[in-house]
Amino acid sequence: MMNPGVPVQQAGKMRSVRRTSGAWQKQGRNALATLVLMIALTFAFSSLVSSASAAEHTVALTGAEFPTIQSAIDASSPGDTITVESGTYPGNIRLNKTISLIGIDSGAGAPVIEAGKDGNGIEITANGCSVEGFVIQDSEFLSGVRITSTGNDISKNVLVNNAQGIILISASKNTITGNNITGNARFGITLQDADDNLIVDNSIVKDSVGIAIDEVSGNNSIFRNNFVNPQNAISKNATTTWDSPDILSYAYLGIKNAGRMGNYWSDYHGRTDHNGDGIGDTPYQILLSGTGRPAFGEGHDVLDSFPLMDPKEFYSDIMPFTGTLSPGVTPTVSGTNVTPGQATPIPTKTSQIVTTRPVTAGPSQGPGRTDGTAYGMFAVILGIIVIGGIGGTIVFLRRGGATTAELPHEPSMKPALPGDEQLAKSQATIHVSDAPSETSMTGPYTSAAEQKNYFPRELEVKYDDIEYVGRGGIAWVFSARRKTDEQKVAVKIPISFDEMTGRSFLNEIKAWETLRHPNIVEVSAVNILPVPYVEMEYVPGSLEAITKPVPVWKAVHIVRGIADALNYAHQHGFIHRDIKPHNVLLTENLVPKITDWGMSKVLAADVKHSSIAGFSLSYAAPEQVSPSEFGRTDERTDIYQLGVVFYELVTGTIPFGGESIVEVGNAILRDQPIYPSEYNPDAVAVEKIILKCLAKDPAQRYQSAAEVLDALSRYLDEDEE
């Protein structure tokens, strides 16, 4: 309706103005939309051009686009990828732009970055870089990799013989995964004012300290790593997460499980796992500087609440939990039932938690069952391994099993003095070793009937009277009666049938089956059909199980048999490198027989053909603890370990001990043993032999097992007179 106060002509002009104003508004909106579209297209085109312009460059010592890594980086643009072929590249690398740096094995192994004394192997100052596939070594005073930026990915590298493996300084949201960080003089990984970083699936071994975290580094997530070091962790920060943030499903010893996963710690002493899920019942406590004090005092412990019972290689098929497990298995999180989709409590496991995941024997379980996975490719499960192609020794330090059905309390590793109550308990001394003995365990995690069900049915046509004996690093061990001649034998079955296990298992036997000596456990049959297995001589007892000390004459009898076996093995090009009571079996007539030759190293062979390498700390030679100071292992390493066994037989205790792994290592390197005669006056007759075997300097020991035999013969001659 027309406003009565406005003339008709004026009202028409107003309608015209409104129409004109509306047109301008419409044109303005169209122009704005066009401008926005042009800007979007410009950005899209710019991104497309940038993506199209990302280039690949190649570095090789000869015949490539660039001869050095740094020259390729300097000539590259952000977003480029640089592939580096095999070879050794001296100098220090600086990544100051977003680059993907990829090492390629072009036939001579992973490319090596030789850092030198005064620089970092790789220093990353740009965001979003990736470094993969390199050996980064010999940064004597600094780090293999130094990161001061955000969002970088460091994966599948070997960081060896640096002052520090990887250091993150004011760095956040970086991913450190799948690296082998070993032999670094100070720390494997260091975090300084570093937040929200992910450190997962690394092997951090033989570094002075595995990982160090300062007070201001927050919210880092560290899980599924192997920590095998004199001291594994120093943390001054309470916000670090030491387990997976989500519930995971995984396979452990052929059984599917679900739960949070922490880290493997070589000095973890809560060796109980009542429900058999591979997660320790008690938390691992992160200590400050190895003093035995919690990092934050009572009530503020830093804990890995879900420590792994075995190295991470024992856990396969890891994925987000979906609720699909083996028949009869209840999904658990550290002893607590889990319903998919529900919020999950995070309880602290204790040794009082009863089994909530029954291990029900059945057709779909165990390495001998045809459940669709047992007879596929051999799976990644390793007891004690050398990472292929690196040639370095990886040492998994674990407490040995008790020799009785009931575990003793935690005793001190300190040697007992005469009259000390500890002497009577010496057989309960903690032995730090690489894997459970095949003849003694820390107690079954399933019943004997259930354990027997791991014996493959395919082999029951060959054997009867099958009994479970124990579990070694990579295999189950059973006693059985061979049907063809009723002979009692031991049968060894890989824990999991996959390629890596098969290679480790068969390499172990390849070395062992060639040795034929009265004091070496004899291998009688090896086959991969119908399932992989090895049949060997059955020996009922072990040196670990006998009460010590023993009379000197009996100790000499046992040691002489071991020395004779070593002399034979050395003459045939093998050293054992893990002589200890666990690995010396005893017949009913006290004839010693050395087992576990899987750790042996062919003396004349290329290091790539070495199978499994490691040692047990309580029996380790100085050159195994500090090869940089005492040299490489050789036949004299076995002689030293024989001396430790001899010492223990006549005194009832080991020569070097301490309240922590660090103390034990330092004692081996620096301390002189208490004379055996101070424990046992009768030992004076063999004291010089024992002490010469235990010389720190390999050049001061007996130079061959034949020399040890000669010395023992002279003792016997004197004894007869």
- The pLDDT of residue 289: 46
Residue closest to 539 by CA, chosen among 577, 583, 504: 583
pLDDT higher than threshold 90 for residue 73: yes
Is the residue at 232 inside a domain? yes
- The pLDDT of residue 396: 30
Give me 233's structure tokens.
């962790």
Distance of CA 384 to the CA centre of its chain: 8
pLDDT higher than threshold 70 for residue 353: no
Cα 566 to Cα 570, 695, 708, distances in angstroms: 6, 18, 10
- The pLDDT of residue 257: 87
- The pLDDT of residue 355: 25
Q: How confident is the model at residue 242 (pLDDT cuts 50, 70, 90)?
A: very high
Pairing of strands 153-155, 130-132: parallel
- The pLDDT of residue 459: 85
The H or E element spanning position 321 is none
Is the residue at 550 inside a domain? no
Q: How large is the average pLDDT for residues 248-264? A: 88
The H or E element spanning position 423 is helix 421-424
Question: Tokens 């044109």 map to which residue?
Answer: 27
Q: Percent of the chain at pLDDT above 70?
A: 66
Residue closest to 279 by CA, chosen among 218, 347, 222, 345: 347
Torsion angles phi and psi, residue 131, rounded to 5: -130, 120
Is the residue at 428 inside a domain? yes
- The pLDDT of residue 43: 46
Lowest mean pLDDT among 98-102, 522-526, 581-585: 522-526
- Mean model confidence pLDDT for the chain: 74
Domain boundary pick from 488, 507, 537:
537
> What CATH number has the domain bearing residue 113?
2.160.20.10
Domain boundary pick from 479, 502, 537:
537
Span 532-551, pLDDT tens digits: 788 889 988 889 888 899 99
- As a whole number of angstroms, the distance between CA 122 and CA 125 comes to 10
Q: How confident is the model at residue 230 (pLDDT cuts 50, 70, 90)?
A: confident
Type of residue found at 292: G
- The pLDDT of residue 40: 52
pLDDT higher than threshold 70 for residue 706: yes
- The pLDDT of residue 467: 87
Torsion angles phi and psi, residue 690, rounded to 5: -60, -50
Q: How large is the average pLDDT for residues 209-220? A: 91
Q: How confident is the model at residue 238 (pLDDT cuts 50, 70, 90)?
A: confident
- The pLDDT of residue 314: 83
DSSP E strands, 40-174: 56-59, 81-84, 88-90, 93-95, 100-103, 112-116, 122-124, 130-132, 135-139, 143-147, 153-155, 158-160, 164-169
Pairing of strands 264-265, 231-235: unpaired
> What CATH number has the domain bearing residue 478?
3.30.200.20
Span 178-211, pLDDT tens digits: 999 999 999 999 999 999 999 999 999 999 999 9
- Write the CB contacts of 721 (distance below 8 Å, at least 6 apart in sequence): none
Q: How large is the average pLDDT for residues 34-51? A: 49
Q: Give the other-Cβ count within 10 Å of 198's Cβ.
A: 17
pLDDT higher than threshold 50 for residue 253: yes
Span 482-525, pLDDT tens digits: 998 999 998 888 766 666 556 666 666 666 778 899 999 988 88
Q: How confident is the model at residue 607 (pLDDT cuts 50, 70, 90)?
A: very low
Pairing of strands 135-139, 112-116: parallel
Cis upstream peptide for 530 (omega within 30°): yes
Q: Give the other-Cβ count within 10 Å of 721's Cβ.
A: 5
Cα 617 to Cα 393, 470, 601, 662, distances in angstroms: 13, 22, 18, 10
- The pLDDT of residue 496: 62
Domain boundary pick from 537, 555, 582:
537
Lowest mean pLDDT among 2-11, 136-145, 585-594: 2-11
Length of the chain: 721
- The pLDDT of residue 597: 79
- The pLDDT of residue 12: 47
Span 166-182, pLDDT tens digits: 999 999 999 999 999 99
- β-sheet bridge partners, residue 155: 132, 177
Lowest mean pLDDT among 256-265, 500-509, 599-608, 688-697: 599-608
Domain span at residue 461 reads: 398-537
Q: How large is the average pLDDT for residues 36-47? A: 50
Q: How large is the average pLDDT for residues 40-65? A: 68
Torsion angles phi and psi, residue 472, rounded to 5: -90, -165
Distance of CA 534 to the CA centre of its chain: 25
- The pLDDT of residue 30: 60
pLDDT higher than threshold 60 for residue 435: no
Half-sphere exposure of 109 toward its Cβ, with a 13 Å CA cutoff? 15
Count of structural domains within the chain: 2
pTM listed for this prediction: 0.46
- The pLDDT of residue 568: 94
Is the residue at 381 inside a domain? no
293 against 256, higher pLDDT: 256
Lowest mean pLDDT among 346-360, 474-488, 689-703: 346-360
Annotate 171-236 with DSSP letters as a single string: -BS-EEES-EEES-SSEEEEEES-BS-EEES-EEESSSEEEEE-TT--S-EEES-EEESSEEEEE-
Span 284-298, pLDDT tens digits: 988 654 444 444 444
Lowest mean pLDDT among 259-268, 466-475, 579-588: 466-475
Residue closest to 532 by CA, chosen among 503, 553, 556: 503
Is the residue at 577 inside a domain? no
Helices and strands in the chain: count of H runs, count of E runs: 13, 42
Is the residue at 85 inside a domain? yes
Residue 694: burial class (beta carbons within 10 Å; 0-12, 13-18, 19+): buried
Distance in angstroms between the alpha carbons of the first and the last residue of the chain: 141
Residue closest to 555 by CA, chosen among 471, 644, 619, 646: 646
Is the residue at 182 inside a domain? yes
Lowest mean pLDDT among 39-53, 187-201, 407-421, 592-606: 407-421
pLDDT higher than threshold 60 for residue 342: no
Lowest mean pLDDT among 306-315, 407-416, 565-574, 665-674: 407-416
Q: How confident is the model at residue 390 (pLDDT cuts 50, 70, 90)?
A: very low
Span 299-315, pLDDT tens digits: 445 789 999 988 898 89
Is the residue at 147 inside a domain? yes
- The pLDDT of residue 275: 80
